């Protein structure tokens, strides 16, 4: 006897992508930071995200500095380059402190997360008792990059299964003398979480639909996560998974109705927006396993691929790794990155570049139009000089004018 356990919404299926529109609750009021001055934002920067918490995103690795340090000692140092000071100087902070620089900050404060939730979208939910192999195949089949995890025992969402987990599994077991990769395939998600997290379960960072999009940007960048579940507090249902790309798209579409700040006309060289030092790259002749090691060691989401001359010829991202699951080729991680890129059936995200002399407005337009997560900064000879990511852009557009540096905090 006893009551039957409650199943999560959409378990074993996905939200409808057409036809009858799903019921949506009334639009909530703006979040607690929808109003206020930049000065108030500075005071509240460390306090305003006291949101309810469940379990931390599995792939985030937040708060495991000891594990990361141990990995750095054991792993070979990845190929890196450092941008010389003669190429890019420090961006003038004053560009982001003028009144017109605050328009995007105020715009996102006045819109809640619910505003960015599409009326119809696909959302896949996994039970933690599902086998790992089936879970990753389902990610590929549904064309999604992450899925909330539901624990039937606790009747709650306890984390996210992401491509990062797939990378960590391959990296951990591919060359293990004790465990064969096919044995790991039969593990359940909950088994992997217990092995990988070793009891150090962290709260899941999520957000309420009534919180502002400003809060969402801060949470994504501060916690160094790429997916932020929007959870309805009353029902506990996941409404959507917010990403940097979704927020920038919202800003790009609806922000056209507001005046553009003057700093958008300045170049990336003048503003120094991006990562320019110790940026990891991977040679095209290196095996895929080397790329996985760099992903794990450096916690980066993409690697510029260089040829023997050191020029950028491609981009290998975390998302490319999931194709190994689709093609069932993850038993051979010794093939070269060049071969892996050649075998890629669909070029979902090619190598898109930008130059130091291009304006921020042009760079943002290109990222929004091409729907990519970053641009590789190159010189006129196609040598890599840096990475301009969505995190860098949202930090500059939204948080820096509020006096908040979430990227380096």
Distance CA 213, CA 285 (A): 42
Best-predicted range by mean pLDDT among 4-13, 248-257, 303-312? Answer: 303-312
| Closest residue by Cα to residue 184 from 317, 175, 335 | 175
* Range in 224-228, 260-264, 326-330 the model is least confident about: 326-330
pLDDT greater than 70 at residue 355: yes
- Residues in CB range of 42: below 8 A, 6 or more apart: 402, 403, 404
Q: Where are the alpha helices (DSSP H) in 89-239?
A: 103-109, 132-142, 163-173, 181-185, 189-197, 213-222
Identify the three-state secondary structure at position 385. strand
Task: Kindly indicate the confidence band of residue 199, based on its pLDDT and cuts at 50, 70 and 90.
Answer: low
pLDDT greater than 90 at residue 337: yes
* Range in 22-31, 58-67, 212-221, 363-372 the model is least confident about: 58-67
Q: Assess contact for 372 and 244: CB atoms under 8 A.
A: no
* Range in 188-197, 243-252, 277-286 the model is least confident about: 188-197
pLDDT greater than 70 at residue 88: no
Task: Kindly indicate the confidence band of residue 78, based on its pLDDT and cuts at 50, 70 and 90.
Answer: very low
Mean pLDDT, residues 14-36 taken together: 39
Q: Assess contact for 196 and 58: CB atoms under 8 A.
A: yes
Mean pLDDT, residues 96-116 taken together: 91
Mean pLDDT, residues 326-338 taken together: 78
Distance CA 220, CA 206 (A): 9
Instruction: Please give the model's pTM, rounded to 2 decimal places.
Output: 0.75
Our separate counts of H helices and E strands in the chain read 15, 13
pLDDT at site 171: 85
pLDDT at site 286: 97
pLDDT at site 30: 42
Judged by phi (left if over 0) then psi (alpha if -120 to 50, else beta), residue 386 lies in: left
pLDDT at site 407: 82
Sign of the alpha-carbon torsion through 369, 143, 211, 244: negative
* Range in 44-53, 219-228, 384-393 the model is least confident about: 44-53
Task: Kindly indicate the confidence band of residue 23, based on its pLDDT and cuts at 50, 70 and 90.
Answer: very low
Task: Kindly indicate the confidence band of residue 241, based on its pLDDT and cuts at 50, 70 and 90.
Answer: very high
Task: Kindly indicate the confidence band of residue 103, based on its pLDDT and cuts at 50, 70 and 90.
Answer: very high
pLDDT at site 143: 85
Task: Kindly indicate the confidence band of residue 181, based on its pLDDT and cuts at 50, 70 and 90.
Answer: low
Question: Which residue did the predictor score with more confidence, 92 or 296?
Answer: 296
DSSP string, 279-303: EE-EETTSBHHHHHHHHHHH--SEE
pLDDT greater than 90 at residue 62: no
pLDDT greater than 60 at residue 324: yes
Share of the chain above pLDDT 70, in %: 71
Mean pLDDT, residues 255-261 taken together: 87
Bridge partners of residue 229, in order along the sequence: 241
pLDDT greater than 70 at residue 4: no
pLDDT at site 2: 47
pLDDT greater than 60 at residue 212: yes
| Closest residue by Cα to residue 36 from 112, 111, 109, 97 | 109
Judged by phi (left if over 0) then psi (alpha if -120 to 50, else beta), residue 402 lies in: alpha
Question: Which residue did the predictor score with more confidence, 383 or 186?
Answer: 383
| Closest residue by Cα to residue 397 from 177, 282, 247, 291 | 247
Question: In the chain, what is the straight-line distance between the N-terminal and C-terminal CA atoms, in Å?
Answer: 51
Residue ranges and CATH numbers for the domains of the chain are 38-402 (3.10.580.10)
pLDDT greater than 70 at residue 214: yes
Average pLDDT, rounded, for the chain: 77
């Amino acid at each position: 006897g006893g009551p039957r356990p409650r199943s999560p919404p959409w378990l074993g299926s996905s939200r409808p992508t057409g036809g009858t529109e799903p019921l949506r609750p009334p639009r909530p009021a703006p979040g607690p930071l929808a109003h206020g001055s930049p000065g108030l934002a500075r005071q509240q920067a460390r306090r305003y995200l006291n949101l309810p918490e469940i379990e931390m995103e599995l792939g985030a690795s937040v708060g495991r500095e000891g594990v990361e340090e141990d990995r750095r000692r054991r792993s070979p140092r990845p190929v890196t380059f450092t941008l010389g000071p003669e190429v890019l100087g420090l961006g003038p902070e004053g560009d982001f402190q003028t009144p017109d620089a605050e328009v995007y900050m105020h715009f996102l404060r006045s819109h809640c997360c619910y505003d960015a939730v599409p009326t119809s979208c696909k959302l896949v939910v996994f039970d933690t008792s599902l086998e790992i192999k089936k879970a990753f195949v389902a990610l590929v089949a549904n064309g999604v990059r992450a899925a909330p995890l539901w624990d039937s025992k606790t009747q709650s969402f306890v984390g996210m299964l992401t491509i990062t987990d797939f990378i960590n599994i391959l990296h951990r077991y591919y060359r293990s003398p004790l465990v064969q990769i096919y044995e790991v395939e039969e593990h359940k998600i909950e088994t992997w979480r217990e092995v990988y997290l070793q009891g150090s379960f962290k709260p899941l960072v999520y957000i309420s639909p009534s919180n502002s999009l400003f809060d969402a940007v801060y949470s994504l960048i501060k916690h160094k996560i790429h997916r932020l579940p929007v959870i309805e507090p009353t029902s506990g249902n996941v409404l959507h998974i917010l990403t940097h790309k979704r927020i920038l798209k919202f800003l790009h579409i609806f922000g056209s109705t507001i005046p553009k700040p003057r700093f958008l006309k300045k170049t990336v060289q003048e503003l120094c927006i991006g990562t320019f030092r110790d940026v990891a790259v991977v040679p095209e002749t290196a095996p895929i396993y080397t790329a996985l090691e760099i992903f794990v060691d450096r916690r980066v989401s993409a690697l510029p691929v260089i040829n023997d001359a050191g020029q950028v010829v491609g981009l290998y991202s975390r998302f490319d790794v999931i194709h190994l699951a689709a093609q069932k080729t993850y038993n051979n991680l010794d093939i070269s990155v060049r071969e892996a890129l050649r075998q890629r059936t669909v070029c979902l995200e090619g190598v898109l570049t930008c130059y130091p002399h291009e304006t921020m407005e042009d760079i943002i337009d290109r990222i929004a139009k091409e729907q990519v997560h970053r641009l590789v900064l190159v010189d006129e000879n196609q040598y890599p000089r840096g990475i301009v990511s969505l995190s860098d852009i949202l930090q500059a557009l939204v948080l820096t004018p509020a006096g908040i540096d979430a990227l380096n905090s």
